Amino acid sequence: MITAEVIKDLNSSDLSFVSGSLQAVAQKVLPPEKADAQSLIFVSKKEQLESALQAQAPIIVAHKALQLPADSKTTFFQAANVQLAMAAILPLFDGKMNRFNQETKIHPTAFVHPTAHLGKNVGVGPFAVIGEHVKIGDGCTIGAHTVVEYYAEIGDHTILHPQVFVGASCTLGSYCEIHPHTTIGADGFSFAMTKEGTHKKIPQIGRVVIGNHVEIGANCAIDRAALTETRIGNGTKMDNFCHVAHNVIIGDNCVMAAGFKVAGSSTVGNNCMIGGDAAISDHVNVGDKVILAGRSGVTNDVTKPGAYGGYPLEPLRDSLKTLANKAHLTRIRKDLSRVMKHLGLNEEE
C-alpha cells in the first residue's frame, strides 16, 4: 500500500505532482487494460488514460503530452518519460526482498568462515557459504544456497540472489544485483591438444572484476580470465542466459539481451546495445556506441558507432534488405532456371 504523498516525496526529476489528494492510496500497480479502483496506472496514450479513469484508478502517472481532466477525483502525476517514472516508483511496490528472510541477519544454517569480514547490516540466507578471507560490504544481501569462495570481494549494497556462485578472488562492485543460478568465476574454456588427439586443460588462474551498478540476469556464466581479468564495466545490464568467456572486457553502461554470447579475449566498448542471441567471436573488438540486432554474428572488428545486424555483419539497413531478399531466392532461382533453359544454356556453362 503506497500513498500519493510517498510518491511525491521521492523528489524524482522524472516525475511531477499535478493534482488530487496526497492521501490517495494504491494497493498495487496494473497495466491500463486491467486497471481497477485500487491500482496505480502508468499511461502514455489517450485511450489508456480513458481506461484508467473509467476504472476509477486512484493514482495515475501520465505522459506530459496527455491532457488531464480538471474535474477528476483521481490523483495525477506527470512524466516526460513514463519508463523513467516506472523506474522511480515501482521499487516502492517491489516485495522481492521478502524472499531473503531478513528477520534473521545471518541464518543459523549459513556457514561464514571465521576469517571472512562482513560489513554492517549484511543478510545471509539459509545454507549460504561464505569462504575464508571474503569481504562483503555494508548492506549486502546474500541469498539462500549462494556460495562466495575465498578471497572474493562484494561491494556495498549488492544483492546476490539464491543459488549464485562467486568464485575465488572475484570482485563485485557496489549496488550490483546478481540473479539466481548465475556463475561468476567459472573456469574459462581452454585446452591444449596433445599429439594423441586428447585435450589437456590449461588452468585458469585469473579472476572476474565487475563494476558498480551492474545487473546480471538468471542463468548467466561469466568466466574467469586465464591469467589476468575478465571485466564488466560500471552500469552494464545483462539479461538471462548470457555467456561471457575468459579475458573478455565489456565497457560501461552496456545492455545485453537474453542469449548474448561473447568468446574469449574480445572487447565490447561503452554504451553498446546488443540484441538477443547475438554472438561475438574470439579476439574481436567492438567499439563504443554500437548496436547489434538480435542474432547478429560478429567475426571482425566493429570500429564505427552505429547499428548493425545479420551474419555476416552489415549495417542494419543493409542487413534488413538482405533478410527481406532471402524470401525471394527460391522464386529467383526458378525464374533463372527457366531463362537459362529458354536460352538453351546449361547451368554448368
Helix (H) or strand (E) holding 42: strand 39-43
CA of residue 273 relative to chain centroid, distance: 11
Cα Rg of the chain (Å, integer):
26
Beta bridge pairs of residue 171: 153, 209
Q: Running DSSP on this structure, what letter comes out for residue 67?
A: P
SS3 50: helix
Q: Is 246 a catalytic residue?
A: yes
The number of beta carbons lying within 10 Å of the beta carbon of residue 246 is 26
Strand-pairing partners, residue 231, are: 209, 249
Q: Is 184 helix (H, G, I), strand (E, B) or coil?
A: strand
Q: How many residues does the chain have?
A: 349
Three-state SS across 132-166?
CCCEECCCCEECCCCEECCCCEECCCCEECCCCEE
Cα separation values, 318 from 279, 284, 288, 294, 329, Å: 19, 22, 21, 15, 17
The 10 Å Cβ neighbour count of residue 289 is 13
CA distance 50 to 272: 37
Q: What DSSP string describes 56-125?
A: T-SEEEEETTSPPPSS--SEEEEESSHHHHHHHHGGGG--GGGGG-TTSSB-TT-EE-TT-EE-TT-EE-
Provide the 3-class DSSP secondary structure of residue 129. strand
Written as nine digits, the cell of 152 is 572474493
Start-end of H helices in 77-236: 82-89
Given the residues 246, 283, 328, 342, select the one marked as catalytic.
Answer: 246
User: Which positions are annotated as active-site residues?
Assistant: 246
